[in-house]
Structure 1
Amino acid sequence: MVKIAVAGGSGGDSIPGVTWRAVAYDDKSDLVDALKGTHTVLSFIQVMKDTGNQSQKSLIDAAIIAGVKRFAPSEWGSAGTAGMPWWTGKGEVKEYLEKVNENGKVLGYTLFQPGLFLDYLATPYKTARYVTPLNTMIDFQNRRAIIIDGHDSILTFTTVQDLATVVAKAVEYEGEWPVTGGICGNKVTVSQILEIGRPFAIDNVKLEDLEAGNLKSSWTLETAHPSLTKEQAESMMKTVLIGTLLSSAKGAWATSDEFNQLLPEHKFAQIEEFLAEVWVGKP
C-alpha cells in the first residue's frame, strides 16, 4: 500500500483514519516537507477559488521536489471545459503538467474524468455520505428536464462509489497511468434517460439563445455546491445551467474509458437499476 496525500476536499465531514495537516500553499518548503514520503497526490483544490491556479501549481512543484511519483489534478468531472468558464483553470493546470514533463517524464499524472455523478439524479435524496445532492437539467423528483433543440447529447454518469473504488484501484495499479483518465460508468443519450420511468415535462431551449447567455426555460437550478456562499450560488445558478447545457451539446460530458480498460474486473452501477432503487415507492 502506497502513501497518499489528498489536497483540499475538506468541505464535508471528517473521514476516519485520515491524518490532517494544514499547509501554506505559498510556502514551498512547507509543502515539500508535508509531501515527503508520499507516492501519490490527489488534488481536490477548488479550481474556482484558486486564483491563477497558484495553489495547484505550487503543489505540483513541491510534489516534484519531494519525489512524488503520481499526481491527479483537480479534475473529477467532464472531459472538457467548453461552455464552462468557471473551469478554465483545469485546462491551465493540464498545460502546466505537460510543460513540467516536456523534456522527459518528471511526474506521472492522470486526469480523472468520471463525467457527471449518477448520484445527482437522485436529488434531493443523498446516496453518498460525502456528496451533497445537486440539481441538474434532468430533474427526476419533479419529472422535468431542459433539453436543447436538435441536440441529443451523450452524457457519462458514474456513481461516487464507483469513482472512489476506481481511484483506489488506480492508486495501487503498478502500470503507468494514462494521461487522460476517463471513467465511464454509463454512457447514455439524454433521450435514453428521459425514457426511464414516468414521462418528463420538457422545456426546449435553443443553442443560439444559450450561447447569447439567455435561458428561456420555466425553471432553473436550485441547489448550490457547499463550497459557494449563498450570494455566489444565486449568481451562478443560471451560469452553471447554461454552461452545463452548452458543454453537453459540445461533447464535454461524454468521457472516455481508459480506466475501464485498465480495470476490466470492476462492475459499474447501471443507471436504470440505480434509479429504480432510489425512486421506488417515492412520488
Structure 2
Amino acid sequence: MVKIAIAGPGLLAREVIDGLVAAGKHEIILLSRRDAAPEELVKGTTWVKVDFSDKEALTQVLRGVHTVLSFIVVHKDTDNAAQKTLIDAAVEAGVRRIAPSEWSLANLDQFGWYHGKLEVREYLAEKNRDRKVIEYCLFQPGWFLNYLGGMRKISTHIQPTPFTLVDHTEGHARAPGSVANKITYTAIHDVVNVVVKAIDYEGEWPTIGGINGNTLSLAEEIAIGERVRGKPYEVETLQLDDLRAGIVNTSWLPAIDQPGAAPSDNEALARHILRSLLLNAADGSGTVSDEWNQIFPDYQFTKAEDFLAGIFADA
C-alpha cells in the first residue's frame, strides 16, 4: 500500500478515483482548493482543502505521499502557478512520482487552450536537468473512445461531446483533406485500468506514457461505423487551405451552448474547436505512442468496433 494524492478532483479524476478505490490497495487523498460538497465525498478517500499557492503548507500535506496525479484544469491555472507549486512541493516532500495534468495528446500545437501543458512539460524536464529529483510520466491516451457514442452518457462522470470528426449516430463524417488521417481513441475505463496498474508498477515510469487503445484512419473508423450501423456514411472532405485560412466550410456544425453567450459567439467557438480538431488530424498529430501498452502487453484494450457494436446494437 502507498499513499496517493490526486490534485483537482474533476470528472476524469473521479473516474480514476473510482478505479483506485475499487482496487482497494492504497490510501487516497484528494487535494482541492475548496471544501467538498456532500455529494463529492468519496468513500475510501480523504478530502483535503489546500492552497495551491502555498508551497510550504502543500509540502506538509505531501509528506509521505508516494504518487501525485494531477488533474488541474490547465487553461484555468494562470501561468501554471498551481501545478508548478504542486511540483515544487512534491519534490520538497520527497514524493517519488508525479503525473502532471496531461490526459490527452502528445502534440498540442493546434489547441491553444492546452498550451499550458507544454510549459509544465518543460518545467518538469528542467527540474531533472542536472539530476533526477522526481520521476514523472506524461499520460497520453489520445481521445476518449466513449466520445464516439455521440451524446449518450456512457461513462460514470465524463460528459459526452459533439466534437468528433465522425458522427456515428447520424452516419456522417468530416475529413480534413483525406480520410487517411489517423486518430487514437482509448476507452475511459482502459485509461483508468492502466493508471491503476501503473501505480503498482515497480519499474520506472516512462516519461512519455502513451496509452494506445485504437489508432484508426478516418477511413477505417468510417468502415467500422458502416458495418455496425448497416448503412453508408456521408463524408465531407474539407480543404486544408481553407482550414489553415480559418475557414470551416461544413454543413454539420456541433452545437455548443455557453451560458449567457450570443448564438453567434457559440457558433464561432464551435468552428474554432472543430477547426483545431481537423487540423490536428491533418497534421498527423491525432495519435499517441504506446509505452504503457508495451509495459502491460497482456492488457486487452477495448476495440472500437466492439465498443460501437455495443452502443448501437439496438439502434
Shorter-chain-normalised TM-score: which range? over 0.9
- Distance in 1 between residues matched to 2:6 and 2:232, nearest whole Å: 42
Q: TM-score of the superposition, structure 2-length normalised? A: 0.84
**2:132 counterpart of 1:109:** no
2:118 maps to: 91
* 1:200-219 equivalent positions in 2, closer than 5 A: 200-219=233-252
- 1:58 corresponds in structure 2 to 85
State yes or no: 1:22 paired with 2:49.
yes
Structure 1: distance between partners of 2:220 and 2:179: 13
User: In structure 1, what is the Cα distance between the partners aligned to 2:252 and 2:51?
Assistant: 42
Contact 2:181–2:284 (8 Å) recurs in 1: yes
Aligned residue identity for 1:280: A
The 8 Å contact of residues 43 and 74 in structure 1, kept in 2 or not, is answered as yes
1:246 pairs with 2:279: yes
CA contact (8 A) 1:73 1:111 kept: yes
Following TM superposition, by how much is the alpha carbon of 1:229 offset from its aligned partner in structure 2, in angstroms? 5.4
Taking the TM superposition and a 5 Å limit, the aligned residue runs for 1:131-150 are 131-135=158-162, 136-150=164-178
TM-score scaled by length of structure 1 = 0.93
Task: Note if contact 2:176-2:281 (Cα within 8 Å) is conserved in structure 1.
Answer: no
Deviates further, 28-37 or 232-241:
232-241
Whole-angstrom distance in 2 between the partners of 1:29 and 1:278: 48
Partner of 2:73: 46
Query: 1 CA distance for matches of 2:72 and 2:177?
Result: 35
The DSSP-based 3-state class of the residue aligned with 2:220 is: helix
Does 2:103 align with 1:79? no
Deviation at 1:29, TM superposition (A): 1.6
Structure 1 equivalent of residue 189 of structure 2: 161
Percent identity between the two aligned chains: 41
Distance 2:133 2:185 in 1: 32
Identify the residue that residue 5 of structure 1 maps to in structure 2. 5
In 2, the alpha carbon distance for the partners of 1:10 and 1:113 equals 17
Q: Pick which of 103-112 and 26-35 moved more.
A: 26-35
Secondary structure at 1:78's aligned position in 2? coil
Tell me, yes or no, if the aligned pair for 1:36 and 1:66 is still in contact at 8 Å: yes
In structure 1, give the amino acid aligned to 2:145. L
Contact 2:177 2:237 in 1 (8 A): yes
The structure having more radius of gyration, on CA atoms, is: 2
Contact residue 151 and residue 249 of structure 1 kept, 8 A? no
Where structure 2 has 5 or more consecutive residues not aligned to the other structure, the ranges are 15-38
Following superposition, the deviation at residue 206 of structure 1 comes to 1.2
Residue 146 of structure 1 and its aligned partner are, at CA, apart by 1.3
Change (3 A) 1:205 1:129: same
Distance, in Å, in 1 between the alignment partners of 2:158 and 2:256 is 13
Deviation string 1:234-266 (CA, Å, 9 cap, x unpaired) is 353222111111111122221100000001121
Classify the secondary structure of the residue corresponding to 1:80: coil
Which residue identity lines up with residue 208 of structure 2 in the other structure? Answer: T
How far apart in 1 are the matches of 2:179 and 2:306? 26
Q: Distance in 2 between matches of 1:122 and 1:151?
A: 20
**What SS class does the counterpart of residue 64 from structure 1 fall into?**
helix
Moved more, 130-139 or 159-168: 130-139
Note if contact 1:139-1:145 (Cα within 8 Å) is conserved in structure 2. Answer: yes
Aligned-pair Cα RMSD in Å: 1.8
